[in-house]
Structure formats: C-alpha cells, structure tokens
C-alpha cells in the first residue's frame, strides 16, 4: 500500500491512522466509563452525610474550587493521569466538609452530566498507569463511611 505513496504523503497517512487510533481508544475509554456509571443511581443522603455535626473548616469559595478541581480531573479521558493533590485535599477534609464539597459538586455538575460525585468516581476509568487505582478505593471507602454508597 505504501509503495505507491511518496515520502511526505506516506508519513501523513501513517500520522492520520495513528491519530484515528488514539482518538478511537480515547472515546472508548470515555464512553465505557459513562455507561458503567449510569447503571448505579441510588444515594442515601438521609442517614449519613454530615451527621457528625462538625463545624465547617473551609470557606465556600474553597468548597467551590475543590468541587471544580475534582470535576476537571475526571472529565474526559485521562491520558496523562489524575490530579492526586486535589484528591488528597478532598480526603483530608472533615466529614462535614467532604459533604459540602459533595453537595457542591452535585448541585453544579449532576444536572448537566446526570451523574453525582459518587457516580463519577465509580465510573471513572484509568489506563492503569497512574495514581487513580490507589485513589479510587480510598475515596469510595470515605463515601461508604458517609453512607453515600
Ligand atoms: Ca476521566
């Protein structure tokens, strides 16, 4: 096939094929994550979240910023891994503040994406080469502790 093509054209064709393959794999990762997440939709906010009665320790703007960072981190295919700093900040919060970030995330992004923070985390996939494999179970344990899952 390539014998009929001249030098530059050959590289353009190879480049195009590689690009299509990369985009295809990316879309596959993205949509497989989405469909997996939509199956799970039950939340139990009534009995757990924020029940500890601790006072908030971060400001409203910090809550908004962190919710936005978590969303940005999971949105789309994560070829270059995840933002471990944002997740560590989230995990270091008190139950009350985790709940505030959770509620902020959901009020901002659940309507638009049909998925709560719990569902986003659940459906978030990884290449297996970054820190998400270790972050995800810890975040899910925290959600379980708060009876969000
Ligand atoms: Ca993602």
Give tens-digit pLDDT for 58-70. 999 999 999 999 9
* Cα–Cα–Cα angle for 71, 75, 77, rounded to 5 degrees: 150
Question: In the prediction, which pLDDT does 32 show?
Answer: 54
> For the whole model, what pTM was predicted?
0.67
CA 126 from chain centre, in angstroms, equals 10
* Token pair in block for residue 88: 């560590």
- In the predicted structure, residue 37 carries a pLDDT above the cut 70: no
35 burial (CB, 10 Å; 0-12 / 13-18 / 19+) is exposed
CB 99 within 8 A of CB 67: no
Q: What is the 3-state secondary structure (H, E, C) of 92-130?
A: CCCHHHHHHHHHHHHHHHHHHHCCCHHHHHHHCCCCCCC
Pick the range with the lowest mean pLDDT from 31-40, 64-73, 123-132.
31-40
- The answer regarding whether domain 7-145 maps to CATH 1.10.220.10 reads yes
Whole-number Å distance, alpha carbon 8 to ligand 1 midpoint, is 35
> What's the whole-number average pLDDT of the chain?
81
Chain mean position to CA 47? 25
Residues 81-121: tens digit of each pLDDT: 899 999 999 999 999 999 999 999 999 999 899 999 999 99
Q: pLDDT grade, residue 14 (50/70/90)?
A: confident
| pLDDT score for 142 | 95
Share of the chain above pLDDT 70, in %: 76
15 C-alpha to ligand 1 centroid (Å)? 25
More confident: 131 or 36: 131
Cα of 47 from ligand 1 centre, angstroms: 30
């Amino acid at each position: 096939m390539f014998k009929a093509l001249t030098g530059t054209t050959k590289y353009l064709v190879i480049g195009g094929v590689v690009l299509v393959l990369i985009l295809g794999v990316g879309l596959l990762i993205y949509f497989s994550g989405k469909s997996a997440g939509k199956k799970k939709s039950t939340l139990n906010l009534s009995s757990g979240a924020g029940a500890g009665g601790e006072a908030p320790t971060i400001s409203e703007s910090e809550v908004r910023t962190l919710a936005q960072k978590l969303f940005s981190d999971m949105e789309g295919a994560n070829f270059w891994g995840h933002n471990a700093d944002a997740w560590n900040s989230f995990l270091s919060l008190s139950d009350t503040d985790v709940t505030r970030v959770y509620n902020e995330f959901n009020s901002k992004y659940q309507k638009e994406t049909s998925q709560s923070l719990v569902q986003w985390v659940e459906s978030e996939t990884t290449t297996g080469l970054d820190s998400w494999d270790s972050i995800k179970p810890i975040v899910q344990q925290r959600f379980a502790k708060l009876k969000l899952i």
